[in-house]
Amino acid sequence: MEKFVQLTLSGVANGAIFALVALGFVLIYKSSDVINFAQGELLLIGAYLTYTTVEMIGLWWPLGVIVAVALAALVGVLIEQMVLRPLIGEPVISVIMVTIGLSSLLRAIIGAIWGVTPRTAPQFLPRDTIALFGASVSVDRLWAFALALTLFALLTLFFRYSREGIAMRAVADDQQAALSMGISVKKVWAVAWAIAAVTASVGGILLMSIFGGVSGQIARVGLLVFPVVILGGLDSIPGAIVGGLIIGLLQSFAGGYLPPELGMGEVAPFIILLFILLIRPYGLYGQRIIERV
Amino acid sequence: MQSGTFHTSYAGDMALRPYWVQRLRIALVLIAVLTFPWFADRYWLNLANTIAIAAIGAIGLNILVGYTGQISIGHGGFLAVGAYTAGLLAARLDAPMWVTIPVASGFTALVGAFFGLPSVRLKGLYLAIATLAAQEIIIWLLTHGKLLGIGESLTLPQAANNLFGFPLSALGNNDFAFYWVTVGFLILTVVFVSNLFRSRTGRAFVAIRDQDIAAQVIGVDLFRYKLLAFATSSFFAGLAGALTAHYRSIISWERFTIDTSILYLAMIIIGGLGSVSGSIYGAAFMTLLPALLSNLARAISGVVPDINTYLPYIQQGAFGLAIVLFLIFEPEGIVKMWRNVKDYFRLWPFSY
């Protein structure tokens, strides 16, 4: 029972982070039909920028996080402007490949600036453990979960009430109609990339805090986005949340209950991914507009 | 000087290389290829072998992506299947190369067809994600493959490198001997694939790429031809993998990660989608780029002492930058640039 609670809680906490990362991914896909293979590198950028502002420059940590996230948003907008915009209307393989090329380029830049040796993360989330339902849980995971939830709530409000949020929903729904109503689709795309970079950065910062350090390992989480978004539905924001939690729990249970030498935690999401694609490719909440032959 | 298509016979129209300029070019290339190993040192022979093996794999991937329009991010996994099948046969059963290579290629074709099953229901980016899952699953099987007795790496016995009882080492050093094997297989692959797209099967592939629903309407069996495309493509991936295993004689899973899949995708995109020669250009470009960069770094290391610490990042960055720049400025790849050059001279002095 204790193990179950422990695995559940860590799965939920990880799942919340996956959901954050997936959220940015879904936003980009919804507003511009771009599959972003560089999502993992966006995580890494957020984590390293925070490391720089807090640990190297020595800013007060909330200020450092805000500066880092703002810089990451800027990077997102720059990527959209310089790389994705020239590829409007190109076939899907070109768009996939350009984000793959981008991820390689970003990883090289990150490596050249910060090196490959893992850096110890600044401590701002408390590290101690508390007892919960008879299991000991590290507090930073609870914090990660709470922060992810807060960010979701903020984004929901943003989509519901702000001008930009409504414009984004309109573009996601029907690009042509949105254009003819005077919405600047280009601006919406820039905002989508900025938000994606922000959610990814927050995910990266939380992972950095949980792992206790920054290294390329964080970018690997970018691959897990695919099972999450396919499970939830590529174009569904609630799907990203549910998918993230399910994959987080699945990974936690598969890693915790099956023999560890199998390493099932790493591969289970991908096996599930194949099954979902075969049975229900639009996922739990996605629109059923997937073209089949 | 040829300025248009003026065939007067069907044979002329059907020929793969109808003009004497083209035949002259092919002859020159062949002469260069056949004389190259006598002048080159081991460093260049090694590069040539790497390019030839990569070109076989890239042509295979191009059958799937460029000609049939099915995206695959699982090519690294298929290469691994070929390499490990050949490696296990050679290491465990002492099978010689001329047995392991066909068996490995055939087995990889089967595995590829299996992982191509989602393509029957999916296409575009959904298929890309499905093949991504295939890649991850294959690598997981290899890293946890205690059943097959695969450790961190697998070493092939030297005795396996023989063709019909004739040991390759009799030809001289490893790089020189393998040059004939890799280039021989590359030439066979080029001839086979160039002709494949003049056949019924190849045209069905192209029809699926251009408009799958229309293809189905005119009677192309999508299920069969999509799986066939996956199988053919994986066959060449298996061939490239098996050649890698015998050439390097030590294989480990790190050679076949998702980065390898991406490298091969980059080769065919930079070389030119849907083009056999483009696959070769792409393979050469992607192999020579890092080599060139490290040579450059060595040359200027006296002036910029830090250059060697930054070299891996420069190589990786150049790789990413090449993909991005090609996609933005020349999406049809090196093949299109080469065609522009040829067109310029063909139309000269009237450049319109």
ipTM of the complex: 0.83
Q: Does B71 touch chain A (CB under 8 A)?
A: yes
For residue range A132-149, what is the model confidence (pLDDT) as tens digits? 666 677 777 777 788 888
Report whether pLDDT(B236) > 90: yes
Q: How far is A116 from chain B (nearest CA, A)?
A: 10
For residue range A145-196, what is the model confidence (pLDDT) as tens digits? 888 888 888 888 888 888 888 888 888 777 788 888 888 888 888 888 898 8
pLDDT of residue B1: 53
Q: Closest-CA residue in chain B for A98?
A: B324
Q: Closest-CA residue in chain B for A96?
A: B125
B245 contacts B259 by C-beta, under 8 angstroms: no
Residue A20 lies in a domain: yes
Instruction: Tell me the backbone φ, ψ of residue B154, rounded to 5 degrees.
Output: -130, 130
Contacts of B322 in chain A (CB under 8 A): 101
pLDDT of residue B95: 83
Q: Closest-CA residue in chain B for A262?
A: B144
Q: In which domain, by residue range, is A130 found?
A: 2-222
Residue A104 lies in a domain: yes
Mean pLDDT of A76-88: 86
Residue A197 lies in a domain: yes
Residue A243 lies in a domain: no
Q: Which of A78, A109, A274, A275 to mutate to test the interface with B (most CBs of B within 10 A)?
A: A274
Report whether pLDDT(A291) > 60: no
For residue range B191-233, what is the model confidence (pLDDT) as tens digits? 999 999 889 999 999 998 888 888 889 988 888 999 999 999 9
C-alpha torsion sign, points A171, A176, A182, A186: positive
Mean pLDDT of A202-206: 85
Q: How far is A132 from chain B (nearest CA, A)?
A: 35
For residue range A99-110, what is the model confidence (pLDDT) as tens digits? 889 998 998 888
Report whether pLDDT(A129) > 80: no
Report whether pLDDT(A56) > 90: no
B272 contacts B335 by C-beta, under 8 angstroms: yes
Q: How far is A266 from chain B (nearest CA, A)?
A: 8
Return the structure tokens found at A257: 């209950």
- State the average pLDDT for chain B: 86
In terms of Cα–Cα distance, which of B221, B324, B106, B34 is closest to A99?
B324
Report whether pLDDT(B240) > 90: yes
pLDDT of residue A293: 45
Residue A155 lies in a domain: yes
Number of compact structural domains in chain A: 1
Report whether pLDDT(B153) > 80: no
Q: Among B136, B140, B327, whose Cβ lies nearest the Cβ of A98? A: B327
Q: How far is B202 from chain A (nearest CA, A)?
A: 19
The dihedral over CA atoms of B299, B301, B307, B312, expressed in degrees to the nearest 10, equals 50
Domains detected in chain B: 39-347 (1.10.3470)
Residue A258 lies in a domain: no
- Which band of pLDDT confidence, cut at 50, 70 and 90, is reported for residue B351? low
Mean pLDDT of A240-250: 88
Return all residues near A19 (Cβ < 8 A) that are at least 6 apart: A148, A152, A228, A240, A241, A243, A244, A245, A248
Residue A291 lies in a domain: no
**Range with the largest mean pLDDT of A29-38, B255-264, B337-346:** B255-264
* A138 beta partners: A129
Residue A249 lies in a domain: no
Report whether pLDDT(A120) > 70: yes
pTM (2 decimals)? Answer: 0.88
Q: Which residue has the higher pLDDT, B15 or B46?
A: B46
CB count in 10 Å sphere of residue B299: 10
Q: Among A96, A104, A263, whose Cβ lies nearest the Cβ of B128? A: A96
A23 contacts A154 by C-beta, under 8 angstroms: no
pLDDT of residue B298: 84
Return all residues near B338 (Cβ < 8 A) that are at least 6 apart: B277, B281
Q: Which residues of A touch B (CB under 8 A)?
A: 35, 83, 86-87, 90, 92-94, 96-98, 100-109, 111-112, 223, 226-227, 230, 261-263, 266-267, 270-271, 273-274, 277-278, 281, 290-293
Cross-chain Cβ contact B328/A83 below 8 Å: yes
pLDDT of residue B207: 92
Contacts of A231 in chain B (CB under 8 A): none
Q: Closest-CA residue in chain B for A110?
A: B313
For residue range B158-177, what is the model confidence (pLDDT) as tens digits? 777 777 777 777 777 888 88
- State the average pLDDT for chain A: 82
pLDDT of residue B188: 94
For A140, the enclosing helix (H) or strand (E) is helix A139-161
